């Protein structure tokens, strides 16, 4: 039977931003499909599983559904979207958050001195977000409403952990814009948007802060909760001007959240990464080459 709840898919939600976003959407009553590869503790370098996140979604007030999916495998992504449509009849919000992250990424050294494994971020990150959007978009266009959100950061505009990280973030910012152009050309009421998040209260970053006192001192008091972007996504989804305001744009989540009056614990607003980095979201141009 088709779901009457808002149906969301959050990729890469075993831990980190994905876990927080999924739980936040659950707090708004959404049915949330939680995807990732980690089914048991110890499956990854950092703790967290899709089943634990799904439980947190349900405990928050939504319906959490854990579904193992390797986003490096297109067939598994296709099966994921097919299952959502079969079970719910629609897909309203897709959060493209799946991204390879390993300790090698933050290891010291120049990019050629690090493991080539870091290049995986360009596959499970940029490409995987495109593939998930490719499968989901056709259903969103038919149902005449949808939101595709990419999790990003100002690392697309300033140096951060090397070219694999920066290339991934720059790619999703530009993909959101180009997808938005295609949606607009088709007259489809679907929005593609890339959201810059701040330094988040994720398991990985908190562990790094514990091990690196200088980093802890630098970031203390500036962190954004891992779930904040989920509340921002919910506000976007319920905004009747969603398409006009956000389609094709890269936005700073903290700034959008402040505009909606979304606080982040203890009544405070998270700081904008614009202030801490000096970076501003890119401005792309809708010029099209005539074919």
Q: What is the pLDDT of residue 236?
A: 98
Q: What is the pLDDT of residue 1?
A: 41
Can you tell me whether residue 239 is helix, strand or coil? coil
Please check the confidence at residue 3 and state whether its pLDDT lies above 60: no
DSSP state of 206: H
Q: Are 26 and 60 in contact (CB under 8 A)?
A: yes
Q: Give the confidence band of 48 by pLDDT, cuts at 50, 70, 90.
A: confident
Between residues 13 and 208, the one the model is more confident about:
13
Q: Are 64 and 58 in contact (CB under 8 A)?
A: yes
Q: Which residues pair with 68 in a beta bridge?
A: 36
Percent helix, percent strand, percent coil in the chain, to nearest 5: 50, 15, 40
Return all residues near 14 (Cβ < 8 A) that are at least 6 apart: 34, 36, 37, 38, 44, 48, 49, 50, 52, 53
Q: Which of 9, 74, 14, 4 is nearest to 39 (CA)?
A: 14
Model confidence, pTM: 0.92
3-state secondary structure 158-183: CCCCCHHHHHHHHHHHHHHHHHHHHH
Under CATH, what is the fold of the domain 7-199+226-277?
A: Rossmann fold (3.40.50)
CA distance 13 to 190: 23
Q: Give the confidence band of 272 by pLDDT, cuts at 50, 70, 90.
A: very high
The domains of the chain are located at 7-199+226-277
What are the two backbone dihedrals, phi and then psi, of residue 66, each rounded to the nearest 5 degrees? Answer: -85, 135
Between residues 209 and 126, the one the model is more confident about:
126
Quickly count: other Cβ atoms within 10 Å of residue 55's Cβ: 16
pLDDT per position as a tens digit, 181-196: 999 999 999 999 999 9
Residues serving a catalytic function are 165
């Amino acid at each position: 039977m088709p779901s009457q709840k808002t149906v969301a898919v959050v990729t890469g939600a075993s831990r980190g931003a994905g876990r927080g976003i999924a739980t936040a959407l659950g707090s708004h009553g959404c049915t949330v499909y939680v995807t990732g590869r980690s089914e048991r503790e110890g499956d990854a370098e950092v703790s967290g599983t899709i089943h634990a996140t799904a439980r947190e979604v349900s405990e928050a007030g939504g319906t959490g559904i854990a579904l193992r999916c390797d986003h490096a495998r297109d067939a598994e992504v296709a099966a994921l979207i097919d299952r959502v449509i079969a079970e719910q009849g629609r897909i309203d919000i897709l959060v493209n958050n799946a991204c390879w992250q390993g300790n090698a990424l933050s290891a010291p050294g120049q990019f050629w001195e690090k493991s080539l494994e870091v290049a995986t971020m360009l596959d499970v990150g940029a490409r995987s977000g495109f593939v998930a959007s490719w499968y989901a978009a056709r259903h969103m266009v038919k149902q005449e409403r949808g939101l595709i959100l990419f999790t990003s950061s100002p690392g697309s505009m300033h140096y951060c952990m090397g070219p694999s990280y920066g290339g991934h973030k720059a790619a999703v910012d530009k993909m959101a814009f180009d997808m938005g152009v295609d949606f607009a050309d088709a007259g489809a009421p679907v929005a593609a948007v890339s959201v810059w998040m701040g330094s988040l209260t994720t398991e990985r970053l908190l562990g790094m802060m514990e091990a690196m006192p200088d980093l802890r001192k630098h970031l203390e008091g500036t962190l954004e909760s891992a779930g904040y972007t989920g509340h921002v996504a919910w506000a976007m989804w319920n905004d009747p001007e969603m398409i006009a305001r956000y389609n094709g744009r890269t936005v700073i989540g903290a700034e959008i959240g402040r505009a909606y009056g979304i606080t982040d614990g203890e009544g405070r607003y998270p700081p904008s990464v614009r202030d801490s980095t000096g970076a501003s979201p890119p401005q792309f141009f809708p010029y099209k080459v005539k074919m």
